[in-house]
Structure 1
Amino acid sequence: MQAGWSKHLIDIPARGLAMHGFGQSQHRAQSVRTPLYARAVVMGDTTAHAAIICCLDLGYVTYAMRAGVVARLQAELGAGFDEEALLLTCTHTHSGPGGCAHEALYNLVTPGFVAEHVDAIVAACSTAIVQAWQSAASTQIEYAEGRFDAAVEVAWNRSLSAYNRNPEVEARAPTQSHLAIERAMQVISLRRNGQLEALISLFGVHATCLGNDLRAHDGDNKGYAAAQAEAALQRAGAAAPVAIFAQATAGDVSPHYHGPGQGARRRRLKAEADQVAYAQHNARLQSEHALALARAPAPMAVEGDIDAALTYVDFTQLRADPVFADGIADACTSEPCHGVAFFVGTPVDGLGMPKALGVGARLIARALKARRLKSDHPQHAHYRALYAAQGNKDVLMEAGSQRVLGQPLATLKLPGWVDPVVAEMKRQARAGALTHSALVPTVLPLQILIIGSLALIAAPGEFTTVAGARLRQSVDACLRARGITRTLICTYCNEYMGYVTTQPEYQQQNYEGGHTIFGQWTLAAFQTRFTQLAATLCQPPGARSHDRTTRPAPPPAQELAQRTARL
């Protein structure tokens, strides 16, 4: 194939704004510990028909970013650029800049939308992609995969009680959480004249080696892994190497030990130097494994056509195919709702509200649910459908109707002094900055990218280990008909919308279930729509009729301006 690669600095100074990831207002960037990059690889039979994979050292990708990149590439690359073949993803470092979404909720901590951040990200992505496009030359592309040995302490399942609910898994003891993850890494390697020049690694583990008490932009484990691999490739003779370390099923996967004594072990990593060293060590495990796979004998050659399909789907009232919903005919999603478990956080990677507040919030949420489900409630039908979708989640925030425990945001009785994020949310609501604006994305991008005999599912948000495996298996079963031999999954692609758990995991209502905002049938809805998209790719291009025009509605300019940070 023809292929090219490049990377470009994401030039965002540290200005004391809160970073995206932990949702903590005190987690502010006062300095830059490591540079953050946009890394791009272009692959195709010619550059006029190319797959573009661009990975950012950031916590998320948003539609604001993607729309800006698409506009720039259409202008710079012309008719040869195919938006459906552009995959924009990220490392999910929790030590990167925030304020990058048109939707309001995940910007509250920053506080507000930061247009300068989006502009810098769009510029870095576009420059890296254009340079990769222009550098394309004949390249040998290969694929390999391999599991980390069980003794390698690279990742642990942080939600074992939920994982063990899945009927297809072997139940693991608390001391075996390292076995309750997908331990295989997938690597796409690119060579010229026998020289390994670039690679793309897929392995799911949160980029949270660095905690929310630090104050610097940092690529965390994935960023360090990329830098380490690039340095090793350069020492071996590569002229301008690029190593992408993207995420697979990282939703319930932590780089920190989870099991007996987990709190004490995490507290030993208190000093900044210790946390950085831990991130570098975790990175070394990933980078060395990726390089070993890329250099292993008898890899699979990747040859054939480039193909892609991209569609946007409204997830607020989506009916799932009973095949993926335990035979239930009326399994549906609903407007987005965040559970108490989301606000409580995770015990090792990042705690949220105090436990006592969480207990109180659960009691209020359950009492509110009981009142709303009474037959004489004026909105009984609406709430019956909402709670049928949300299941046993203790709903704290209804992002669709913009209510917290039943109260409109503007008149929320919770005082602002409790938390700066609460104060900012109330300020924006009272100023009218949220009246016609979404709190979270609801029209989501689904994409499948085909590179020869490989298929890459590009999924938005955070999929747990088993949720991702089920989605991959569903799509793989469809694509085998067109000669696909490996179906992979890459997450955090093209948009950020929270988590996706399996329906059994959801019942546990750990953090991940509390952040599965469209309800207990979210995964089933993804399987339904992704298999439809896969079926589309089994048709000739001229016969495809998938929706290529739907996009998220832009926010009202005046409201966006009211919640935009002034630097």
Structure 2
Amino acid sequence: MYMVGWDKQEIEIQAQGYAMFGYGMWTHRAEEKRTALFARSFSICDQSNQRLIFCCIDFGCITHAIRSGAVAQLTKKLGLSFQENQFVLMATHTHSGPGGCGHEALYNMPTPGFVPEHLDAVIQAILISILNAIESEQDTEIRSSTGCFHDDIPVAWNRSIKAYNRNSDVQHRTDKETHLALNREMQLIGFYRQNQLQSLISLFGVHATCLGNTLKAHDGDNKGYAAMFVEQTLLQKGSHNPVAIFAQATAGDVSPHFHGEHQQEIRNKIKGEKEYQYAQKNGHYQSEIALTALTQKSFPVQGAVSAVLSYVDLTDVEIPPEFTQGLLGMRTSQPCHGVPFFAGTPVDGHGTPKLVTASMAMLSKMVRKKRMSNSTSADYAKYKALYDSQGVKNIVIEVGGKKLLGQSIDVVPGIFDPVIAEMNRQVKAGAIQDSPLVPQIMPLQIVRLGNITLICCPGEITTVAGQRLIQTVKAQLSAKDLVWLASYCNDYMGYITTFEEYQEQAYEGGHTLFGQWTHAAFQTEYQQLAQQLNLPKEQRNYDQSTRPPIIPIHELAKRTNHGSLKTAASKGEF
């Protein structure tokens, strides 16, 4: 038996014309609220008073600004009873939620800029929901279950089948079998009192992109609707203040839209109000399987709470040959965005036109050829290491060097692209001179709840990459342990593909920032964390002090979105 409490709080953000996070579209602006967005929290205390906290927000991602702000507030309120490594902060990855909540510059460009009132509101909702969850703790039985979507339930499809089929450890799928090229199992944690299900946590990977990039409202998308349906059902059955978290798992290459023959024609028929109906239907599928699994067959969760959390600089991880097919000296590199990042994804969200991306690819190859043509140049070794790590990617943005197609990012004309124009404005204002464009030091976390071990991943991890990571961690643990994975946890780092998938350079590979060995770096670091988790707490020896650098306040102020900037942006004046 555990002491468990739960609560949810609405994130009080007004739709005022800021661009939403997810599609990266300047025109994808919030003008109204369709559904409320929530912070949902669970506090779980074991018999030795060790507390594990889960919080999931209806947002596109977690940023370090969100997590560090929440940690500071919780530490202030709870003191020594709050353990940061036992705090899991997740996002549903709705693409219809607020942007502007990161201190790093790049992903805030469409917003445009940093929006402090958004950040303050989400931290406040997180804090109140967690404190209320702790206050409401009662004796609670925890049980686990799994449910598997039947093949004929149209809930998810693999959107990157060519990359998926590159993996040596999968059954190859045709364009008619994309619904089978993913993990169709949902993992569940149920909370019971008087033998009645009261609340739950669900893990299932599918993008929250039922709603496209032409809509203009804040909305929880499929995960938000799934939570709402479960909470309504449990409330009708007598539960008090039920809370349902529908978090993500291996969603990186998984879409809620059909992918196969005539995929775009089918997607184009789902427009406007039909998109909201489609999101609700997908949410119903998820809510129904969750309730069915937890009310029909479940298994007791027993044992202590424990966790390990370490921040890792992903720009320079040396990979052991165990994870590089025997190759020696392989490393990650500074983060780089490839051409496919700008091209977007089929069906879910098209990006830059093909003519422009073709030009980007040509220019990227020219930059590489020029840099690698002179082996005696002072920068040759630096660029060779970069290209060895990034492999086949046609690099557009070098984040560390703040270069776009080999040039300073403020040199490229922004007349045809308002996001580039905003980037130029910030550079010229001195707003990102010493600030990182994207996070580079990332939180890797593993938590244990009795016999459940949860890998908490800060990025968008593909189906096979997630399966392999689970296998890596499971090899370090007891055979009796359930090893599950949650994604979009604690910060955001783009994608994690397998080495084979990366070579395809679909959208997911183009947005795997730290190069072709990114997944191998994850296996390396999570393997070491799992080994530490196995040790008694007092014997663990791993880095618990490293944190991302503090963003210069004066630069952040120059990126802060003020009313005049917001008004100009909404009128398209940039």
- TM-score tier (shorter): over 0.9
Give the aligned partner of residue 333 of structure 1. 332
Does residue 289 of structure 1 match 2:289? yes
**1:377 CA displacement:** 3.3
Give the aligned partner of residue 510 of structure 2. 514
Q: Which amino acid aligns with 2:377?
A: H
Alignment of 1:263-282 (within 5 A): 263-270=264-271, 272-282=272-282
CA distance in 2, matches of 1:417, 1:410: 12
Q: Contact 1:338/1:395 (CA < 8 Å) preserved in 2?
A: yes
Distance 1:86 1:69, change over 3 A: same
Alignment of 1:394-405 (within 5 A): 394-405=394-405
Deviations 1:515-548 (A, max 9, x none): 0000000000000000100000111111111111
Give structure 2 stretches of 5+ with no counterpart. 564-574
Alignment of 1:286-435 (within 5 A): 286-297=286-297, 299-374=298-373, 375-412=375-412, 415-435=413-433
TM-score (norm 1): 0.98
Alignment of 1:463-502 (within 5 A): 463-480=461-478, 485-502=481-498
CA distance in 2, matches of 1:488, 1:296: 21
Q: Which amino acid aligns with 2:208?
A: A
**1:146 CA displacement:** 2.2
2:446 to 438, 448, 455: 448
**1:441 CA displacement:** 0.2
Q: Which amino acid aligns with 1:280?
A: Q
Alignment of 1:91-110 (within 5 A): 91-110=92-111
Does residue 156 of structure 1 match 2:167? no
Q: Contact 2:165/2:172 (CA < 8 Å) preserved in 1?
A: yes
**1:95 CA displacement:** 0.2
Does residue 38 of structure 1 match 2:39? yes
Deviations 1:136-174 (A, max 9, x none): 111010001121100111000000000000000000000
CA distance in 2, matches of 1:510, 1:411: 27
Q: Contact 2:47/2:304 (CA < 8 Å) preserved in 1?
A: no
SS at match of 2:317: coil
TM-score (norm 2): 0.97
Q: Which runs of 4+ in 1 moved over 3 A?
A: none
CA distance in 2, matches of 1:376, 1:259: 49
What is the RMSD of the two structures over their aligned residues, measured on CA atoms?
0.9
**1:410 CA displacement:** 2.2
**1:378 CA displacement:** 2.9
**1:48 CA displacement:** 4.0
Does residue 525 of structure 1 match 2:526? no
Deviations 1:36-90 (A, max 9, x none): 0000011121594111010000000011001111111111112111110000001
**1:370 CA displacement:** 1.1
Does residue 206 of structure 1 match 2:207? yes
Give the aligned partner of residue 27 of structure 2. 26
**1:239 CA displacement:** 1.3
CA distance in 1, matches of 2:16, 2:291: 36
Q: Which amino acid aligns with 2:555?
A: E
Deviations 1:473-531 (A, max 9, x none): 10011122xx6520000000000010000000000000000000000000000000001
Give structure 1 stretches of 5+ with no counterpart. none
CA distance in 1, matches of 2:158, 2:307: 32
CA distance in 2, matches of 1:261, 1:331: 41
Q: Contact 1:371/1:377 (CA < 8 Å) preserved in 2?
A: no
Q: Which amino acid aligns with 2:382?
A: H
SS at match of 1:418: coil
Q: Which amino acid aligns with 1:432?
A: G
Q: Contact 1:2/1:44 (CA < 8 Å) preserved in 2?
A: yes
Give the aligned partner of residue 566 of structure 2. none
The count of residues paired between Structure 1 and Structure 2 equals 561
CA distance in 1, matches of 2:230, 2:266: 28
CA distance in 1, matches of 2:151, 2:434: 50
**1:411 CA displacement:** 2.1
Q: Contact 1:49/1:81 (CA < 8 Å) preserved in 2?
A: no
Q: Contact 1:20/1:95 (CA < 8 Å) preserved in 2?
A: yes
Using the TM superposition, name which of 37-46 and 370-379 deviates more: 370-379
Give the aligned partner of residue 59 of structure 1. 60
**1:409 CA displacement:** 1.1
